[in-house]
Structure 1
Amino acid sequence: MENPKRCIHEDLLRDLPDCLLFDIFWRLPMTDVVRTSVLSKRWRNFWTTAPFLNFDNRAMLLGDGSKLQNFVNQALSCWNGDRVLKFRFHSYHEIASSMYSDVDLWVNFAQRNGVEELHLHVLCITKRAWPGFDGKEVYRVPPCLYSYSSLKELSLQSCNLEISGNVQWNKLESLKINAYTAAPAVINQILSGTPQLKVFHLTYVDKVLDSVPFGLGHFLQIWLSHALSQILQSIQHAENIALSDCCTEVVGALKMNCVHSAFLNVKSLELRCCFDDYKQVVGVLAMFPRLEKLIIRDKKEEGLQDDTEPLKFEANIPESFLLQLRTIEVTWSERYDIFPLIEILLKYASKLEKIVFQLYEIKSPAPSNSLSLVSQKLKGMQRSSTNCTINITQLRI
């Protein structure tokens, strides 16, 4: 006799529309998606028609590149759907350069099948060896991708960008780049070929300045400021921008090197950095006069400041400073050094509607009642907006 509970379970799955099931597949690593073939006869080959393919190896075949390589190749050979609308290959563990030719094949597979959303993160083995690192071992985006005009969303991490020819991303709306090396001319060429771009994220280096000698760090700052000043004008039509710590650190030099210093179309800005120099951060925010949403994320460096006395900061604030800001979201960890900036935001954002402050759990030797102290400090700050509400929560690491 057939198990009644199993019948009910299968009926519930059978009643779900395919589009919902495929969306669930996209949120799962491909190994789990393939395992759904054991659920029933109907599900045996159902995964092979999925338009969303997520090869995210955080949860699959860790530490064995050959198994990962074979799994992806076998899964793609079994696929017989109509289109691949979304494709992700995300390598959280280092892979050998011998796999790069396979990655090219996977990108070509996605293109041939009409991919609209593509995510590539190819972590190379040489990342740790920064001294003398020339980027030759880093995965290079295949040239065919630049002429693929159906892309709407593209994310490239730990990749090198080299272009020979024109970029034809006529439908691209979201572009996120985290590259080891990317010449300003290449970035400008990319941006000139993306007329519909709405979201642009760019990270040049991943935490390099703190791990190299001062002389080299100073050189990298100069190079970054020069590079950013060259691409600034090309990204002024973007509506959402995220700046990492290196980008924030060189913004002062960037403003001096470029006349076009205002991002008039940007409505959402995310800052991921440590705010040791508040004048510099104010300089960043002054470049976004029509900003409506500000997201601040701590880069979680070591160090603790348990001084909760009021901190004051004076700067030359432009008249347009934060006039359109409606929402502030802050995720912070074990330090109180952000409060001078928060004080400025509350003081000048006259149309602010809410601030959401998420504080990571503070450990000893910080005060045990840190959440209460943070709450009192925030609520005691001057606010130019009478309608502003403050929501404070504590997160566990």
Structure 2
Amino acid sequence: MDRLSELPDSVIFHIFWLLPMNEVVRTTILSKRWLNLWTTTPFLNFDESKSDSQFSTTDKFRHFVHQALLCWDGVKVLKLKVVANYDESGGDVDLWVRFAKKYEVEELYLHSLMTDLSWTEEDHQVPWVPLYLYSCSSLKMLSIENCYFRIKGNVQWNQLKSLRIINCFGVTEDVINQILRGSPQLEVLTMSFEWKAQSLCIRSTSLKELSIYNDLYDDDEASTYRELSIWTPNLKALKIKGIPYNKCLLMNVSSLTHATIEYSYVHWYNDEYCDKLSMNHIGDLFGQILPSIQHVENVTLLSCCVKVLGAMIERCMNSSSPNVKSLRQRFHCSKFVGMIEISPLLKKLFIEVGECVPSYDYRDSLRTDSNVYLQLEKNLPMSFVLELRKVEVTLVEGDILFPFLEFLLKNASKLEKIVFRVKRTMSPSHHSNSLRLASKRLLRMPRSSLAARFTFSEY
């Protein structure tokens, strides 16, 4: 029985989308019915990074793409993905975008494989985004990586719901404003800038998810004037990551339910004074952001955000986040601070401790560090444990959180579940028994909640 031929087209086409197109063409040997099926699939996935040695050069891969598109005999393209080392002239991209527009593509992925990250727009080695793309009104999802934006005329993305712009040149505030004006239904926007950070003003009544990544620090005078302002009354989820802007203004985020903040700071040759200035800068930004996210129920704070939060809270003693019910924190410092101090209705707490935390022998850590414990019990208000139901801890190394967990077990009367995850190690040292020793210690701690249950695992 030919079970492959019995599969519905929708299943077969989904399988095609999961494979590079050169492998899809090879499926013609599997079944008579599949002989020409690839020529009508609405899902076209050309990925040079996942193709085998069949294409010894980029020119051969591009030639294969052109030949496959010429052989295609379908009615409509739902998804088109091209991941390749593009022609510097942009001629290849131009042809692919014309094909996408002709067959009313709904999801388009144009990803350039750039091997030299030192290129700039002046090198003319970055492919241009063809002007035809801006009038492709059938688009519902668009993802562009390592390309150069130049917009002439109006953007006509009337059906666009999701847009990803990753490491692209020419993405200025004006370009973003043109895109937002021409995308009245845009709900998801993701932007990543590794080339040059820009001042941005995001104004949209349709956006529901916004992610902004700024990964390059520019050491010029202009960098001190960069601002990020957001006016999005219907926004549900916000992520801000990377090197911080000089100012960050959340002017209308009244519908926000999920917020993720992960700022990084730059070390200037281990200059403690400069590091302190950088951390103070991040602390000032938190002072700007915190009042705007006090109503958010799900908050994630990562990296040095947690490190500066304690000092920032001390400066804003009246600040509180009464609606935070789920809090996720990841930090790489030995001092434990965070928004738990100002979140009285917290129900779920997720903590990840990184590798920079001082490592201790787990056998020595079976004893309680009374000094740390007293400090925690002094700093942490009892109010935040009243509603706590679940705690999940991911521990790479060290035992800095054990006094804190002991505090939770002793005082969180409604606690239902604690998930404790330890990094697996193949070393024959004492760390190989870290999970057993940690679980032994935690199970010995007194619990005020009889319903509290433990789950132990390695990762």
Find the counterpart in structure 2 of residue 222 from structure 1.
224
Q: Is the 8 A contact 1:263 1:289 kept in 2?
A: no
| 1:74-120 Cα shifts (integer Å, max 9, x gaps) | 221222122111111224xx54414x211111112112112111122
TM-score normalised by length of structure 2: 0.64
Distance 1:173 1:377 in 2: 47
Q: Secondary structure at the match of 2:75?
A: coil
1:86 equivalenced with 2:112 (yes/no): no
Gaps spanning 5+ residues in structure 1: where?
Answer: 1-6, 300-308
Structure 2 counterpart of 1:336, from 310, 313, 332: 332
Instruction: Tell me the amino acid that sits aligned with residue 193 of structure 1.
Output: G
Q: Offset at 1:393?
A: 3.9
Q: Is the 8 A contact 1:159 1:180 kept in 2?
A: yes
Q: Shift in Å at residue 43 of structure 1? A: 1.4
2:14 is equivalent to residue 58 of structure 1: no
- 1:336–1:72 CA distance, 2 compared to 1 (3 A): same
After superposition, the Cα gap between the structure-2 partners of 1:157 and 1:129, relative to the gap in structure 1 and judged at 3 Å, is: closer
1:286-325: per-residue Cα shift (whole Å, max 9, x none)? 44445344456769xxxxxxxxx9x954425597854444
**2:165 corresponds to 1:177:** yes
Distance 1:72 1:325, change over 3 A: farther
Matches within 5 A, 1:342-357: 343-356=337-350
Once residues 203 and 57 of structure 1 are traced to their aligned partners in structure 2, the CA distance between those partners, rounded to angstroms, is 22
SS of 2:50's equivalent?
coil
Residues 272 and 166 (structure 1), Cα distance of their counterparts in 2 relative to 1, 3 Å cut:
same
Letter in 1 for 2:332: Y
Give the aligned partner of residue 296 of structure 2: 291
The answer to whether 1:43 aligns with 2:34 is yes
Q: 2:7 aligns with which of 11, 16, 36?
A: 16
Q: 1:363-395, CA deviations, whole angstroms, 9 ceiling, x for partnerless residues?
A: 999557654736636635779996686645457
Give the structure with the larger strand fraction: 2
Q: Where in structure 2 are the equivalents of 1:62-77 lying within 5 Å?
A: 64-77=57-70
Q: Shift of the alpha carbon at 1:218? A: 3.8
Alignment of 1:379 onto 2:405? yes
Q: Distance in 2 between matches of 1:184 and 1:170?
A: 20
- Whole-angstrom CA distance in 1 between matches of 2:45 and 2:255: 33
SS at match of 2:49: coil
Task: Quote the residue 1:155 is aligned against.
Answer: 143
RMSD: 4.0
Aligned to 2:18: 27
- Give the corresponding residue for 1:194: 183
CA distance in 2, matches of 1:135, 1:285: 42
Take 1:47 and 1:245, find their aligned partners in 2: how far apart are those partners? 42
Separation of aligned partners in 2, 1:26 and 1:108 = 21
Equivalent position SS for 1:170: coil
How many residues were matched structurally?
352
Compared with structure 1, are the counterparts of its residues 345 and 363 closer, same or farther at alpha carbon in structure 2 (3 Å cutoff)?
A: closer
Which has the higher relative contact order, 1 or 2, with Cα contacts under 8 A spaced 6 or more apart? 1
**1:102 aligned residue (84, 88, 92):** 92
Give, in whole Å, the separation in 1 of the partners of 2:295 and 2:152. 36
Say if 2:42 and 2:76, in contact at 8 Å, map to a contact too: yes
Q: Name the CA shift for 1:51/1:274 in 2 (closer, same or farther; >3 Å).
A: same
Q: Aligned pair 1:241/2:238, yes or no?
A: yes
Rate the CA distance shift 1:97–1:336 in 2: closer, same or farther, 3 A.
Answer: same
Deviation of the 1:349 alpha carbon = 3.8
| Post-superposition offset of 1:219 | 3.5
User: Retained in 1: the 8 A contact 2:194–2:215?
Assistant: no
Q: CA deviation at 1:69?
A: 0.7
TM-score w.r.t. length of structure 1:
0.72
- 1:328-387 Cα shifts (integer Å, max 9, x gaps): 556x6xx623975xx423333444443455677x59995576547366366357799966
Shift, 1:188, TM fit: 0.8
Structure-1 residue corresponding to 2:201: none
User: CA separation of 1:183/1:386 partners in 2, compared to 1, >3 Å: closer, same or farther?
Assistant: farther
- How many percent of aligned residue pairs carry the same amino acid? 30
In structure 2, the CA distance between the partners of 1:165 and 1:43, relative to structure 1 (3 Å rule), is: same
Moved more, 56-65 or 73-82: 56-65
Task: Write the distance in 1 (CA, Å) between the matches of 2:341 and 2:413.
Answer: 8
Shift in CA distance, 363/222, structure 1 to aligned 2, threshold 3 Å = closer
| Partner of residue 164, structure 1 | 152
Equivalent pair of 2:299/2:328 in contact (CA under 8 Å): yes
Deviation, 1:61, is 5.2
In the TM superposition, what is the alpha-carbon distance from 1:265 to its structure 2 partner?
A: 3.2
Shift of 1:142: 1.4
The residue type paired with residue 93 of structure 2 is V
- The residue type paired with residue 142 of structure 1 is P
Q: Distance in 2 between matches of 1:176 and 1:41?
A: 39
Which letter does structure 2 place at the counterpart of 1:84? V
What is the DSSP-based 3-state SS (H/G/I as helix, E as strand, rest coil) of the residue aligned with 2:45? Answer: strand
Match of 2:118 in 1: 128
Query: What is the CA deviation profile of residues 140-160 of structure 1, one whole-angstrom value per residue up to 9, with x for unaligned ones?
Result: 211222122221111122222
8 Å CA contact 2:14, 2:43 repeated in 1: yes
Contact 1:172-1:196 within 8 A present in 2 as well: yes
- Bigger shift: 362-371 or 190-199? 362-371
- Given that 1:82 and 1:113 are in contact with CA atoms closer than 8 Å, whether structure 2 keeps it comes out as yes
CA contact (8 A) 2:332 2:353 kept: no
Counterpart secondary structure, 1:254: strand
Q: By how many angstroms is 1:33 displaced?
A: 2.0
**What is the one-letter code of the residue matched to 2:22?**
T
Structure 1 241/116 Cα, relative in aligned 2: closer, same or farther at 3 Å? farther
Separation of aligned partners in 2, 1:119 and 1:338:
42
